[in-house]
Amino acid sequence: MKKAIHYINQFFAGIGGEEKADHKPEIREGLVGPAMALNEVLDAQVTHTVICGDNFMGSNTDEAVEMILGFLEDKEFDIFIAGPAFQAGRYGIACGTIAKAVKEKFGVPVLTSMHIENPGVEMFKKDMPIFKGGKSAAKLKDDVKAMADYANKILNGEKTLPAAEEGFYDRGIRAQVWLESGKTGAQRGVEMLIKKLAGEEFISELPIPEKDLVAIAPPIKDLSKSKIALITTGGIVPVANPDRIQSASATRWGRYDISKMDRLKAGEYKTIHAGFDPAAADADPNVVMPVDAMKEYLKEGKIGALHDYFYSTVGTGTTQAEAARMGKEIVVKLKEDNVDAVIMTST
Amino acid sequence: MIMIVLKLTKIITITKEIKIERRGHMKLELGKFNVKDVLFGEKTFFKDGVLTINKDEAISFIKEDEHITDVDIVIAKPGENTRIVPVKEAVEPRIRPDGRAVFPGVTGELAMAGEGRVHALKGCSVLGVGMHWGSFGDGLIDMGGEGAKYTLYSQLINICIVADTDEEKERHEQQKKNTAIRMASHKFAEYLGETVKELEPEEIDIYELDPVTKRDEKVDKLPSVVLVMQPQSQMEELGYNDLVYGWDMNKYVPSFMNPNEVLDGALISGSFMPSSSKWSTYDFQNFPTIRELYKEHGKSLNFLGVIMSNLNVSLEQKIRSSIFVAQMAKSLGADGAIVTEEGYGNPDADYILCLAALEDVGVKTVGISNECTGRDGASQPLVTLDVKANALVSTGNVSEIIKLPPADKVIGELESLARDGLSGGWPFDEFLGSSVKEDGSIIMENNGMFCGDMIAGWSTKTMKEF
């Protein structure tokens, strides 16, 4: 019989809720919590359950992933299933993070399940089939079954259906299908045109994503009277990274006081961005976040004021949806502080 | 001298006839002869659904072109375990009883196509196949087995002209005009059509459209639509592109055409576009999207006609063509348009530009094309995207990998798939090896399946998210 390993969080393992969210990763032989439901419907034996606290995975991602991959190194398994994570954001991101790492390291198929509003969907749907799950644990059985039905096809070497029919989010992977209806391109085209002309609903076979373009703002009239803020996606933070901004696929941002300094000092600030060689930025953080140059301009009177804080996050691997959310959150703060314009630096 | 005089008289007579016909409307009568079998015999004739060909006479006819240095004729039937490669062209055998050329400006004198009587041998095609040498736009056909589903031509009885030529200049070029073999296919299709010139067709399909401004009130009230066709014209040098009445479509701006002209030999295919994205001459003669629009004409749509565009390379040429198309559609009062391109990659720019230009002038559009989504299916499907193109039919993925077992028989030369730069084949790949294996099995991209994405409208394939 084929073998499977299941990943769940501390809550579903029965260890505890928020107060136990720092629970370190562990692996147990056999079935814990939802693994029992999974084992019942899966054409494979669930041999182990991996458990990790959501906060531990969120705050110590590298350590958590390394530990779990270590647990799995001597195990035999044909498939790795995480969740379902429902609408729980941190749990969803944890499922996506660990499933992606397992797929990359061991090359086995990985699956998870989340509700559409879980931020993990946007972050990881390109990396694995994420099944369209319910909002809460009331849907546990259905969500587990949906994953198992698909997993069984893979385990048994059967043909799988398009994403929409299987019930997972589009991954952006397209393949040829011969229509059972035998309807030709000509028939489909003419039919679509008749519907479109009649104002009826039609389904394009090649949906083109809407571009979310932001209009370019009008120029600043008088720079010498304006308050300027600095923002970067280059990952410049105080060396302790107090806001625990992730090195890739960021969901967090921070703001740091620069009112009392002329420049960012090496050793006090560094980059945590994992997408470029950090040597130059660590040696002089001003090359990414040009506090030094802005302070000079301030002295010269070229700009009216420099905002007391700079804002920072990491751009690499960060989804458009997360970036937009963080941007909107930052804009609120900038408006409160009457910032007139922003200089945004990247890497 | 006498010959010339006779010829001239003939043309004058025909012109008179056409003038009479033209007072009314364009009416094409397509007389159909269903071919159930093709075999070689003493005489070349058609009887009881069987086309018999005198092979020696046929070879002599093809060899009248001095550029054809060697030729054989081979018949391939549906279901046979036969592989044909490199295929350069497909043509439906036809004849016009009144003596006009089947392909005006190509196989004979210029005369308007799309009206009067034409006779067709249905269920078969003449294929132009390289005896040895292939080129970029050539394709592969499997007549049976799992490979058969990748092309329409596995369903037809194929009369293959397998030829070599004296076109030394391009023998080792990846891009070949393949002029001699392609022209032989058109001429030979007409030669075979002679067998039914005097016969009474089993069925006659009628294609007729009243002039745009002289239609019944009932038809006028229906939403009016045009078909915008973008045939291949990317090569700046003449001789590779599709021809309209014998004219190279690179040196052309969009025109309004009657759909009957397309169905009746006004256009012939070229020798450039990777095969799965190509429209063969057979595709033009039977263009399914035109026939589908005809079916709806007078019922749910008012089919105004065809705006024949092209697919030139530079952006300026693309924009110019889209201006012509949008203006014509607007001036004709089209409510809707179907846009279809013979190609992928660079031509996607023309396709999307044209769809957007039409939407901008208030013409609602549907596009029909294939896509190039990569071997893993994860790449951007078209080179350019525009949200205005919100109703697209997708007929396949150029880059899907296809593995097929050896065939019992090969018509042409199998090695050409790997050796000659066919768009779907390769001589070497560090992971996949050569496209052609020692045992005769093959690995290739869908790109090289002969007219495989059936963009003309045959395709029962689509693309879905997996």
Q: How far is A318 from chain B (nearest CA, A)?
A: 19
CATH code for the structural domain at A3-166: 3.40.50.2300
CB pair distance less than 8 Å for B368 and A196: no
Q: What is the pLDDT of residue B376?
A: 87
Q: Quick check: B125 contacting A, CB < 8 Å?
A: no
CB pair distance less than 8 Å for B338 and A189: yes
| Contacts B155 to A, Cβ<8 Å | none
Summarize pLDDT for B166-202 with one digit per residue, the tens. Answer: 999 999 999 999 999 999 999 999 999 999 999 999 9
Q: What is the pLDDT of residue B24?
A: 65
Q: Is the pLDDT of residue B8 over 80?
A: no
Average pLDDT, rounded, for chain A: 95
Q: Number of C-alpha atoms within 13 angstroms, CB side, residue B350?
A: 32
Among A245, A295, A297, A306, smallest CA distance to A271 is for: A245
Question: Pseudo-torsion of CA B146, B152, B157, B161, nearest 10°?
Answer: -100
Residue B9 amino acid letter: T
- Reduce the DSSP state of residue B333 to 3 states and report it: coil
Q: Is the pLDDT of residue B17 over 50?
A: no
Q: How far is B310 from chain A (nearest CA, A)?
A: 20
Chain A positions touching chain B (beta carbons under 8 Å): 126, 160, 162-164, 170-179, 182-190, 192-194, 196-198, 202, 204-206, 208-211
Contacts of A54 (CB under 8 A, 6+ apart): A9, A10, A11, A21, A88, A90, A91, A94
- Reduce the DSSP state of residue B96 to 3 states and report it: coil
| pTM for the whole structure | 0.84
Q: What is the pLDDT of residue A346?
A: 87
Q: What is the pLDDT of residue B21?
A: 46
Q: Is the pLDDT of residue A8 over 50?
A: yes
The partner residue sitting opposite A174, judged by closest CB among B390, B460, B465, is B465
Q: What is the pLDDT of residue A166?
A: 96
CB pair distance less than 8 Å for B464 and A164: yes
Q: Is the pLDDT of residue B15 over 90?
A: no
Residue with token string 């002295």: A299
Q: Number of C-alpha atoms within 13 angstroms, CB side, residue B260?
A: 20
| Contacts B392 to A, Cβ<8 Å | 204-206, 208
Q: How far is A162 from chain B (nearest CA, A)?
A: 4
Residue A324 — pLDDT band, cuts 50, 70, 90? confident
Burial letters B190-209, b for 16+ CB under 10 A, else e: bbbbebbeeeebeeeeebbb
- Looking at residues B351-357, what average pLDDT do you find? 98
Q: How far is A85 from chain B (nearest CA, A)?
A: 22
The partner residue sitting opposite B373, judged by closest CB among A174, A183, A184, is A174
Q: Which residue of B has its CA nearest to A167?
A: B466
Among A168, A12, A173, smallest CA distance to A90 is for: A12
Q: Is the pLDDT of residue A35 over 50?
A: yes
Distances (CA, A) of A157 to A43, A127, A151: 12, 21, 10
What is the C-alpha to C-alpha distance for residues B201 and B48, in angstroms, rounded to an integer?
11
Q: Is the pLDDT of residue B68 over 80?
A: yes
Domain boundaries, chain A: 3-166, 181-210, 223-345
Which of the 8 DSSP states describes residue A314? Answer: B
> Across the strands, what pairs with B208?
B27
Distances (CA, A) of A228 to A224, A256, A340, B134, B322: 10, 15, 6, 64, 45
Summarize pLDDT for A77-112 with one digit per residue, the tens. Answer: 999 999 999 999 999 999 999 999 999 999 999 999
Q: Is the pLDDT of residue A180 over 60?
A: yes
- Which stretch of A147-156, B5-14, B285-294 has the lowest confidence by average pLDDT? B5-14
CB pair distance less than 8 Å for B368 and A209: no
Q: Which residue of A has its CA nearest to B460?
A: A184
Summarize pLDDT for B250-294 with one digit per residue, the tens. Answer: 999 999 999 999 999 999 999 999 999 999 999 999 999 999 999
